[in-house]
Amino acid sequence: MVGLTKVLALEGAAFNVTCNAICPGYVKTPLVEGQIKDQAVAHHMSEEEVIEKVMLKKQAVKSFIPVEKLGEIAVFLSAENATAVSGSVFTLDGGWSAQ
């Protein structure tokens, strides 16, 4: 996806089209809540243990990424003052990829 983002940024530049990637860590969505329940059953753990020992184990900030933060980045990228931002990756993963 990152490679595609960069190609689209390069190809779209002549047409004033920008392309950026937002790469989040775990966001507590209904899908993730279902995964937590499934993992708890599969590993004989409580849901709290799954969150702590499986999902957020490698994440420096031990909390889910708020969906509002993803929205804030998307709003910024769609604003007029972000027209020079293209081909960039915005990683919101609580420090997981900093390892």
Question: Please, are residues 19 and 5 in contact by the beta-carbon 8 Å criterion?
Answer: yes
CB atoms within 10 A of CB 33: 11
Using CA atoms, how far apart are residues 8 and 98, in angstroms rounded to an integer?
26
Q: Quick: pLDDT tens for 27-50.
A: 999 999 999 999 999 999 999 999
> Percentage helix, strand, coil, to 5, in the chain?
55, 10, 35
Helices (H), 1-99: 2-12, 30-43, 47-50, 67-78
Long-range contacts of 10-13 (CB under 8 A, 24+ apart): 10/87, 12/86, 13/86
Domain assignments of the chain as residue spans, ordered by start: 1-25+66-99, 26-64
pTM above 0.75, yes or no: yes
The pLDDT profile of the chain, 99 residues, written as one tens digit per residue, is 999 999 999 999 999 999 999 999 999 999 999 999 999 999 999 999 999 999 999 999 999 999 999 999 999 999 999 999 999 999 999 999 998
